[in-house]
Amino acid sequence: FDSEMENLVTDAVTTHPTPSTQAAGNQRNTIINSHDDATWILTSAFIIFTMQSGFGLLESGTVTVKNEANIMVKNAVDVIFGGLTYYMFGYGLSFGEEKPYTNPFCGWGSFFVTASENDMGWVYSRFFFQASFATTATTIVSGAMAERTKLEAYMIFSMANTLIFCFPAHWIWGSNGWLYELGAVDIAGAGPVHMVGGITGLVATILLKPRHDRFNSDRPPPMGSPTNAVLGMFMLWWGWLGFNCGSTFGISGIKWILAARSAVSTITVSIAGGIMGFLLSYIVNNRRFDIGYMINGVLGSLVGITALCAMAQPWESIIIGAIGSLIVNGSIELLNKLKIDDPVGCVGTHAVGGMWSLLSAGLFSRRDTLADALQHQSIQDGLFHGGGFNQLGIQALAVLAITVWTVVLAVIFLKVIDFVVGIRMPLVEELIGADIVEHGIGEIIYDKKHRKLLNLGQYQRQSVDAIPNESREQVRTVMSQHGRRGSGLLGHCHVLSDAEVGAFDELLSQNQPDTVEGKKTVNGLLERLKRFRFSKTMCPSSDTISTVETVNYIQECQEEEPSHHVRHIKSQFHNKSSKKRQIRISRFQKKNSCSEAVPMSTGDRKATTNGDIEHSQINMTYI
């Protein structure tokens, strides 16, 4: 009786394949046997699509506040521009089966994806699912390029990155892909998605070079919003369940069992990765639980299970997750030691984590009856299940092939884009922040065409006058908020920090006038800026030289006679003598009617010892 009931249930949920589906029967992991399978695939793709929000929140929370909106826009660019090229040719080069052109290296056919009424359901389901994978591979790269990349260049790159992704996707998942025929195991995209995205990010960050002043301090720039970063981690965690469980490509037959096993392996691996992240932070950071270690531990472990998600046992997932978290956090610290600037940690999480994922499949893979549902007829037992080194060798070959392919194409594409439009933002725009430069967000106004800041002193005075009854401490808070959104470019009584002086120094080195006299004048200007650094009292009513004006003056030194600017700064600062800086401060404040100085915090008082200024935490710019 039980056997008859099981047959009835099977007949109820399984339909006969259409002729077109039978023709695609050899396509790995893409056979759709029922409406339930199509629903499962589409639902999983919807969940995977929400990972774009997770990446956006994680990256915007990790970068400094002056770039948080820009990094969210870049995540939208990945879908808009990358999705276009995947529709045009990416899907065809990955899964096209038009003979005789399809070969083990690439697919051919299905360009500008369309389908007949009979084929429409499974073709569009598969396309949408794979498109979500392709855009994720590009999104990974945006974290490594954050805070210093031109948006125009990134748009072009998002379109080109489809070519880097689609060929490894064919090797691993195509019906005649050469790695698939060898028996390589990668169920949910450790190679085509995570390795391709992470390695491309590594190439990009090396070519871009570090953010300004990144490694002049032992501590990285402050996170723009740790809360957003953690929220982004949760959304990615949720998306990974769709990522891994959806890669069973259905729930008909016994595939629902594989989906359940994927869910358990995904949650157990992240548990182990999170625990290892907390433990590492506790040991390395003197009993502090660093948010970055937790995030990278969880995400690194999730990448680690991607290749074997539907085949791993829970105890195996825990081992894979713990080792993955350790490797990912260690690799991120190593990159910092090597002064490779990866703002979000995507290289360690995705490139190194993806490599570990593929290799771990060679250690823990096991041929069982469920593997046939994934069309893995060539799979062998891994090293830890008595299969020897055969499967591990195939997985290592996949790691090597994908690495070489990605490095070569990423270098070519990025070099060409850099030659045509330039990839890195000019230093001044980097210091101001991409939110203002690219999107006009914030109180500071920037003329992108002429690369010139517009002074905002009048706006700031109006902002302060609008709250005449507020206390001085509240005025200070308001001005600090203006500085936070405006990248710290306060229009009045602004402190020239060591970081800013270094920024101007580098700016001058890139924009030196050609004449010897011009160089002398500009260098003299820089010396005056270095010498005159007054105490951090907020004087919103004063009409002093601002950082906005200073940046513009330095830029104009290349176009006009610099002596005017030197005289102007000299008259504003009353820098008559190099003695007794504090006396100059008093004269400066008296001249500008700063009748009531805002009380300084302990940090400010320490910073102004002997009349000098160091990089303090209160109103310092995020540069």
> Using an 8 Å Cβ cutoff, are 423 and 152 in contact?
no
**Residue 524, pLDDT above cutoff 50:** yes
What is the rounded CA–CA span in Å between residue 72 and residue 59? 8
Q: What is the pLDDT of residue 202?
A: 97
3-state secondary structure of 311: coil
Residue 342's contacts (CB-CB under 8 Å, 6 or more residues apart) are 143, 144, 201, 202, 205, 332, 335, 348
Tell me the pLDDT band of 51, cut-offs 50, 70 and 90.
very high
Q: What is the pLDDT of residues 108-153, one digit of tens each?
A: 999 999 988 888 888 898 899 999 999 999 999 999 999 999 999 9
**Residue 573, pLDDT above cutoff 80:** no
Least confident of 276-285, 407-416, 423-432, 603-612: 603-612
Angle between helices 314-337 and 255-284 (to 10 degrees): 40
Q: What is the pLDDT of residue 516?
A: 52
Q: What is the pLDDT of residues 196-240, one digit of tens each?
A: 999 999 999 999 999 988 888 777 788 889 999 999 999 999 999
Q: Which DSSP state fits 338?
A: T
**Residue 297, pLDDT above cutoff 50:** yes
What is the rounded CA–CA span in Å between residue 233 and residue 237? 6
**Residue 518, pLDDT above cutoff 80:** no
pLDDT over 70 percentage in the chain: 66
Residue 532's contacts (CB-CB under 8 Å, 6 or more residues apart) are 496, 573, 575, 581, 584
Q: Which DSSP state fits 149?
A: B
Q: What is the pLDDT of residue 534?
A: 32
Q: What is the pLDDT of residue 506?
A: 52
Compute CA distances 544 → 164, 204, 246, 370, 572, whole Å: 52, 41, 61, 74, 6
As a whole number, the mean pLDDT across the chain is 75
**Residue 478, pLDDT above cutoff 50:** no
Q: What is the pLDDT of residue 118?
A: 83
Tell me the pLDDT band of 523, cut-offs 50, 70 and 90.
low
The residue among 140 and 575 whose pLDDT is bigger is 140
**Residue 612, pLDDT above cutoff 80:** no
Greatest mean pLDDT among 43-47, 500-504, 526-530: 43-47
What is the rounded CA–CA span in Å between residue 615 and residue 496? 9
Q: Cα angle vertex 412, ends 408, 417, to 5°? A: 150
What is the rounded CA–CA span in Å between residue 352 and residue 132? 22
Least confident of 424-428, 434-438, 582-586: 582-586
CA nearest neighbour of 60 among 294, 235, 257, 318? 235
> Using an 8 Å Cβ cutoff, are 289 and 282 in contact?
yes
What is the rounded CA–CA span in Å between residue 33 and residue 17? 6
Q: What is the mean pLDDT of residues 481-500?
A: 37
Q: What is the pLDDT of residues 235-271, one digit of tens each?
A: 999 999 999 999 988 888 888 889 999 999 999 999 9
Compute CA distances 386 → 323, 360, 383, 614, whole Å: 21, 14, 6, 62
CA nearest neighbour of 229 among 344, 349, 62? 62
Q: What is the mean pLDDT of residues 390-409?
A: 96
Number of other residues whose CB lies within 10 A of the CB of residue 368: 10
Q: What is the pLDDT of residue 432?
A: 84
Tokens of residue 586, six digits: 């008093």
CA nearest neighbour of 171 among 190, 158, 153? 190
**Residue 588, pLDDT above cutoff 60:** no
The full DSSP string for 21-69 is: HHHTTTSTT----SHHHHHHHHHHHHHHHTHHHHHHHHHHHHS-GGGHH
**Residue 294, pLDDT above cutoff 60:** yes
Tokens of residue 312, six digits: 């791993």
The full DSSP string for 167-209 is: HHHHHHHSTT-HHHHHT---SS-IIIIIIHHHHHHHHHHHHH-
pLDDT over 90 percentage in the chain: 49
Tokens of residue 371, six digits: 């593997």
Tell me the pLDDT band of 31, cut-offs 50, 70 and 90.
low
The residue among 5 and 374 whose pLDDT is bigger is 374
**Residue 557, pLDDT above cutoff 80:** no
3-state secondary structure of 97: strand
Q: What is the pLDDT of residues 326-377, one digit of tens each?
A: 999 999 999 999 999 999 999 999 999 999 999 999 999 988 777 666 766 6
Compute CA distances 344 → 144, 163, 323, 500, whole Å: 6, 24, 20, 24
Q: What is the pLDDT of residue 367?
A: 80
What is the rounded CA–CA span in Å between residue 70 and residue 205? 17
The full DSSP string for 247-286 is: GG---TTTHHHHHHHHHHHHHHHHHHHHHHHHHHHHHHTT
Least confident of 188-202, 255-269, 292-306, 603-617: 603-617
Tokens of residue 510, six digits: 């890139």
- Look-up of token digits 């390589």: 184
What is the rounded CA–CA span in Å between residue 622 and residue 455? 19
Q: Which DSSP state fits 446?
A: E
Tokens of residue 220, six digits: 């990285």
**Residue 7, pLDDT above cutoff 70:** no
What is the rounded CA–CA span in Å between residue 14 and residue 32? 10
What is the rounded CA–CA span in Å between residue 78 and residue 157? 9
What is the rounded CA–CA span in Å between residue 9 and residue 258? 18
> Using an 8 Å Cβ cutoff, are 308 and 166 in contact?
no
Angle between helices 226-245 and 51-62 (to 10 degrees): 150
**Residue 616, pLDDT above cutoff 50:** no
What is the rounded CA–CA span in Å between residue 175 and residue 172? 9
**Residue 543, pLDDT above cutoff 50:** no
Q: What is the mean pLDDT of residues 1-27?
A: 40
CA nearest neighbour of 495 among 588, 427, 566? 588
Q: Which DSSP state fits 122?
A: H
